[in-house]
Structure 1
């Protein structure tokens, strides 16, 4: 006999908002299964407001409220038992972030937690990485968002350390990442991986997922540094319109994919990694698993 629970996670990022609804299948004597039931992505680029003018605009506040109302209705239709909504970099930095949280609670009846970079990295690490991580290897996990990038080092199947940096795709598009930040990331990565040999990257985020999909590889196979670099050169040589029309990229993906790829390439270069695995996991998956295992 099996028991099925329905949990939902709302990820309010700097480039987009996501609602993930997951079927949690429990069966005596067997590992719990987490099966995606539905994923809805809404491209509201909050970071464009937060990082340039310091607040979320009235237009995007209205769009957020509408999206949250829709998310609430979808959770009711799916009979979701438990949910958690987490907002990251853009909402952290917008001075009206807390006002928006109160407004959405009032208008859409959804409670939002604004989490810091450390908490974000910890939740992401709650994703079921064990199936992708061999205990005899060392991995640098890199999650690139619109406002920040989270790094976590795994050794012998366990997380050793995590760090969040204010270097994300929307910031890079707006020329808001200084050379100092890049230097800090390079220094942290090199010092962190120094005691270990043969580093492999694990990448998460919509952009690396798109790159992986374009490669048409099997999910269990990694991308090489050579392939990622060739894609970076190809994408950089194309205009925005060409990336949308010829590659079929979404309009809100066609610009951010280049700075995201740059971050992954630098992480590979500075860690010495020649390969990057791309499991379909991220903050939303981490939220669901952290709720289930009562880590948040």
Structure 2
């Protein structure tokens, strides 16, 4: 069977990603292969969370990037795509105007999605197939502008919550105390109601933290919270420039990675989790999985 290419564009608060995957059917099973992944650190949230709008300069850069992504999708023969914008565009006063301009000049339709939809798409990675159903899980995606948390019990998604707490917001000092209080209260309640909770971590920062702590990780995807605390302490003892040099981080990762670790440690501490599973998947993967599922469902109705 001929391969079909799908694409996902994730317009986040820190970076804008293009993921292209090919899907091939082998003996009735779908096989997903990553063909291309690009990440450009536009840091749109830097504007939104400080002044409430996206600057003209960053708007122009986003427009140029979308034109480039459109051409790449053509080159790869992408059948279907979905472009989603999250917290930075969602909260920007000029977000709707910017999206209309990009659509008019590139033909790319951008959807501004809420926190619950973002969490659902992330869950669409079929993560439940990897889980031990004896445990309950919190699926935690830490982004630049917000943190999405989903409760999975018995392999089934039970609820999703979104908090305006993210790495770029923290960097800019724009996280409200009530958001932190809400997160803490909710996590304590979930921990009390679901003893033995495990966390599934999503996002580029937790992937990097897992790799940095890999020497202490003996069980596959598992990152002990104690190991995360240790590596976070090491990173906090260094400047952003030192993190770039010693750990070969991108500058836009180096200045926010400890904020991501703090969020994960806060959630783990409040709900009583001792381990974080890191399967290295994210929003873009979920978008492509959902597109493929829609096509499969349509084909089944014919």
TM-score (norm 2): 0.94
Residue segments in structure 1 that go unaligned for 5+ positions in a row: none
Which residue is 1:268 aligned to?
Answer: 268
Which residue is 1:19 aligned to?
Answer: 18
Which residue is 2:300 aligned to?
Answer: none
Q: In 2 relative to 1, CA 4–218 (structure 1 residues): closer, same or farther, beyond 3 Å?
A: farther
Which residue is 1:126 aligned to?
Answer: 124
Q: Give 1:218 deviation, angstroms.
A: 7.6
The question of whether the paired residues in 1 share the 8 Å contact of 2:191 and 2:270 is answered with no
The question of whether the paired residues in 2 share the 8 Å contact of 1:3 and 1:27 is answered with no
Aligned-pair RMSD on alpha carbons? 1.6
- Deviates further, 176-185 or 244-253: 176-185
* Among 105, 108, 124, the residue aligned to 1:107: 105
The question of whether the paired residues in 1 share the 8 Å contact of 2:212 and 2:231 is answered with no
Q: Give 1:290 deviation, angstroms.
A: 1.1
- Deviates further, 171-180 or 39-48: 171-180
Q: Give 1:109 deviation, angstroms.
A: 1.8
Residue segments in structure 2 that go unaligned for 5+ positions in a row: 298-302
Which residue is 1:284 aligned to?
Answer: 284
Distance 2:130 2:206 in 1: 16
The 4+ residue runs of structure 1 with deviation greater than 2 A are 192-195, 215-221
Which residue is 1:249 aligned to?
Answer: 249
Distance 1:53 1:47 in 2: 10
The question of whether the paired residues in 2 share the 8 Å contact of 1:193 and 1:199 is answered with yes
Deviations 1:30-57 (A, max 9, x none): x312221110000000000111111111
More helix by share: 2
- Deviates further, 214-223 or 38-47: 214-223
Which residue is 2:144 aligned to?
Answer: 146
Distance 1:66 1:178 in 2: 33
Which residue is 2:31 aligned to?
Answer: 33
* Among 154, 157, 170, the residue aligned to 2:155: 157
Q: Give 1:219 deviation, angstroms.
A: 8.4
Q: Give 1:128 deviation, angstroms.
A: 2.0
The question of whether the paired residues in 2 share the 8 Å contact of 1:144 and 1:168 is answered with yes
Distance 2:267 2:188 in 1: 9
Distance 1:152 1:49 in 2: 28
Q: Give 1:98 deviation, angstroms.
A: 0.9
Distance 1:161 1:50 in 2: 28
The aligned length equals 294
Distance 2:129 2:238 in 1: 36
- Secondary structure of the structure 1 residue equivalent to 2:251: coil
- Secondary structure of the structure 2 residue equivalent to 1:81: strand
The question of whether the paired residues in 1 share the 8 Å contact of 2:213 and 2:228 is answered with no
Distance 1:218 1:278 in 2: 13
The question of whether the paired residues in 1 share the 8 Å contact of 2:221 and 2:279 is answered with no
The question of whether the paired residues in 2 share the 8 Å contact of 1:132 and 1:279 is answered with no
Distance 2:219 2:287 in 1: 22
